[in-house]
Structure 1
Amino acid sequence: MAATLYCATFFSILFRLLLLVHSSKNPDFEALMAFKTASDTFNKLSSWNSTTDPCSTWSGVYCLHNRVSRLVLEDLDLRGSFEPLTSLTHLRVLSLKRNRFSGPIPSLSNFLALKLLYLSYNEFSGGFPATVTSLFRLYRLDLSHNNLSGEIPATVNNMTHILTLRLDENRFSGNIPSLNLPNLQDFNVSGNRLSGVIPKSLSGFPESSFGLNPSLCGAPIQKCANFVAEPSKPRSEGAIASPLTPRSNPRTPTISSTPSSMPSNKAAPPRKPNSSAKISPIALIAIILGDIVVLGVVTLLLYCYFWRNYAAKMKEGGKGSKLMETEKIVYSSSPYPVQSGFERGRMVFFEGVKKFELEDLLRASAEMLGKGGFGTAYKAVLDDGSVVAVKRLKDAQIGGKKEFEQHMEILGRMRHPNIVHLRAYYFARDEKLLVSDYMPNGSLFWLLHGNRGPGRTPLDWTTRLKIAAGAARGVAFIHSSCKSLKLTHGNIKSTNILLDKAGNARVADFGLSIFAGPTATAAPKSNGYRAPEAFDSRRSTQKSDVFSFGVVLLEILTGKCPSNVDGGGCSGGSAVVDLPRWVQSVVREEWTAEVFDLELMRYKDIEDEMVGLLQIALSCTAAVPDQRPSMSHVVKMIEDIRGVDVGPSNDTSDSASDSPSVSEDAS
């Protein structure tokens, strides 16, 4: 008997010691166990036990630095209140959707790090949680499908970072406050008991965001048709009334929108005859005939003027055929005009098969794709329907023909799934053209910054990571393809990372930095991607390429434009900053999450991956070149973020050099 009592006492002490050990290892252990005891009636959280670490095996629990950062407990029939969880001060994501929690929402003031809060499809009651407006880092708030009531407070305006505000299918009443939330993308208050006029700041959201509120009016739903105005005031000063607002006196006349129905207590005075109100038929006919005569004279003068100029040009010796040729080029939108004294060159193809001549490019319809540091790029559709990209090297400083041809021979033989293949080139004294594959899905720059705002489809995290990995492989291949020359790209930026038909990243415009003109050295800081030591882009190094690629990674993570990109601002309203300096300043303040693009906050369980890519970007943008990793190492680090392939090929730069490319002999 004594032995049994001794064993029971021993195990009891051991159990308490285990609890003490776990609680000492993880400060959030006791709060989680208290929550399970209070809410998990049916033991759905069976993996939550006192013998294991919450951060290792507990379902729905995700930790960062041994503190619970994400808690995702959805559709588990949990009940009661989640108040024990309010002591999780490091929580960033809390999702309790599709449970049976009830009662008022407890105080959320301890969740100072919270960014995503999902409490939809429960049975919460009471008013709008007042403490939620103090969570200044909150991006997503979903309280839909509950039994919340009362008014929506104007203090919602304090949540300046909010992207999602879902309050639909509750019992909120009163007016919608005037909200000034510049980042708001997803808003819904349908299925409540709201009344009054929809604020103008919210009129851009769809009708479904306000449906099933019979007393609401204004854009985008039905117009507020009833206006009540004082008879002594002009109609424009009348007050707007809700369509269902009760009137104290049903006999009070309602002023309609048509002036003829306005009531009047005394008859209007007779109007004085207006002598200018009527025009005699004879005068009307004279006016019409005069207009016709004036129009005819003007037409005749214009015709004579243009015909005389055209005839004079046609009479000039030897210029008639050139005029017709120029007109043909203009009509076909070709960007390659034939100039006087034009030296005849030839198209050189790298694959041995001649597919078109310069005349075919002149006849092709052309569309400008963009203007860079070395010239303008065009999309050209040839007569046979094939599409190519043509870059006109107008601003490049090219020496002799032999130097140009030797360099093109090296670039033309480079083949890799993540670089844009050069197909042909044209060299003449007054014209240098590069012909390459056309990439139909645009550039990384446009995907990140184009058309930002409501209605835009954001670039998701998986696609961003795939593009980063593919572009890294492309740059690493360029660096390793010809070891004797140590080739560099020299102009890495998001506009030079293109996407092919399959969505794979292709690096473009590589190897052209040797043609940079004096303007590139005169303003070394005009490009937000340029390394601090790269004062002369013609002498770029592989380490300076690594710095530029690191800026691209920061651009992918932040959604912001590097300062002075291409000498201009960013399209679509994206913020323009000195990315490396700004990110380092934020990280020094130990709030890393502030640097990430708001459009990425809708995705779950990616924060560790974003932090991993951020660490790679910071190492690439180190101020000292020797502290930056090689591109082959960058490729490996990006691929290790998920531990799986995130691109079209598993080849790193080492294995990529075995693919058809430039040989050492050719170099």
Structure 2
Amino acid sequence: MVLPIVFLAFFLCNCLSFVASLNDEGFALLSFKQAVQNFPEGYLNSWKNSDDSPCGSYNWKGVTCREGKVVALSISNQNLSGLLPPGLGKLSSLRRLNLRNNNFHGSLPFELFNASSLQSLVLSGNSFSGPVPTQIGTLTNLQVLDLSQNAFSGSIPSSLVQCKRLKALVLNNNSLNGSLSDGFGTNLTTLQKLNLSFNNLSGLIPNDIGQFSSLNGTLDLSHNHFSGSVPATLGYLGEKVFVDLSYNNLSGPIPQDSAVLSLGPSAFIGNPLLCGPPLKVLCPPGALDPYYKPYPSDPSSKPKEVHHSSSCAVIAAVSIATIVGICTIGLLLYHKYKNACACKWGDGVGSSPFEEKLTLRQKISCFIKNDLETLSEVMEQYEFVPLDSQVDFDLERLLIASAFLLGKSRIGIVYKVVMNNGPTVAVRRLGHGGWQRFKEFQTEVEAIGKIRHPNIVSLRAYFWSVEEKLLIYDYIPNGDLATTLHGNAGMLPYRPLSWPVRLRIIKGIARGLAFLHEFSPRKYVHGDLRPSNILLGQNMEPLISDFGLCRLANIAEESQAAQCEQTTTGTPKRSSTPEQSSPFEFTAINATLSRSYYQAPEVSKVRKPTQKWDVYSYGVILLEMISGKPPMIQIGSLEMNLVQWIHLMLEDGKLMIDILDPLLARELNKEDEIAAVLKIALACVCKSPDKRPSMRHVFDSLDRLTSCINQQDMLDEVAKFTQ
């Protein structure tokens, strides 16, 4: 009897010694693990109470350490649920807490704010509720606060103005109410991004809003209940700030200052009582002073705080840019020396689609550190941001997935990335450089990432670092429209498109463009629409790709700016090196047809793209699908574009059979439908932009046309093509 008791005592003592060996930070993290529900099987198996520390020889998953202390906890997109335990506040060295896109609920424990070293608190995309604790003001080192897409209520705590280092304040899509105090602009002078949209905030917009002297990303106060006038100090904000005051209860005349007017009407729509330019709403007589200027006539009479802050910001920016520039050059030289052999093929030149199976990390090893442990150590310099709640992979899983080169263009390299037991995605590399413009890049890419439409390729996530920028899209299996229409050297047997399938594609492109023009948040212009960036899905549905790509490339790497401008402002520069391709292209990166033939005549005269540019490009694509001809036609020694050729054929009185793609010759019973589409195409390519229809009108016309067609016949044709 004595022996079993002695053995039990010995066993308990050993267990207690193991538990006792774990330090306080380990216990704090285990309390988090115990509070979590529904985490993936085996996901936190590395968190063991038998370890001495979370920072031991086997680092705990999602935990980043430095000098033996936990500095970051990042577990996003894992469908975790439960209450947030107060024990996390005991992580005294914690700098970053990222639990984005999970299902945590309940209120935030005030003990969390005992972690006074916190610099980044990202809890967006959960179900947290209750007020934002006033203790948040104790986080004087806080730089990023993102509580968006939750159910927080109550007012924004006034103590928040004590977080004077705050750079990003993102509280959109909650149920916050109350007003903003005048101290917002005066105290938060380092703020670069402010998004309070889709709440129940009310009262006046603070007059000191113009003192956000560092703002260079977003100022979004839309979809609230703000009242009163538009502050004249709005004109103090920088030119690159995206301002949105739409859908509030603002009233009175809009300040007639050039900086305010340049925001455009989209910044003010949804305020029925606002008047004056840039809205097309007349003000009552005398209400609008055309000579009114919010700026003082003497620049020296501007508020001293703004001037002083701007000067300090300029000096700091120059100093930081110089130091980081030197470090970046040294780092790039080091990587060039270290990876010289691997980089011989890393740019994709000359690669075959049947090349040796390599991971995405190996493919881009010239730019990203090879060692994932090293990558984790410098994670604060990196951002991997899912833009969709359905994204179920992280950076580590993306980098170790198999990658296959799809091709190379002037705007980066494209890979097909196949994850084990996961999705297949297309990853476009935009190159390196331009780290100073991260906030601008972030604002632009996240706006594009909000676009969801069945005829537009979805941007699912992005990765940003000093050395590399990646865009992660849905992979579209059936290639692009250019290759499908004209074939490609090395392809499997070419299969011509029947007219019902072409009509389905024509209508889908119109639907997607109409959405971009009329219903997307920024009423986008594509600016570079071509068959090579219209992809075809599983059932031959068209998906428009690459919109906004040139803008992102310009931000990501300044050296690409001139190349991108050529796609929208004139004849493209011919490359001396042939662009590489494969038979399984994500987009037709080897296109030899000059994109200028798809551009409207006014492109060379007007630098800013308009929606009528896209209408013209769409019209050329319709003519190409009807005639089967490329956009440039050679007749003997004479060159003419497709639009000129069509007009010449019609002027000579040629019949439809002379214009029609020979591959459609057997479908002359569809001549009335084809003639109707030809009429739409000719309207779209009208030389005068004002006489071209809107894409919404084009889609409505096509919708009426196809409503008279047997939809089952069209689907049967699609099924035949995809078999």
Compute the TM-score of the two structures, normalised by the length of structure 1. 0.43
- Which structure has the greater CA radius of gyration? 1
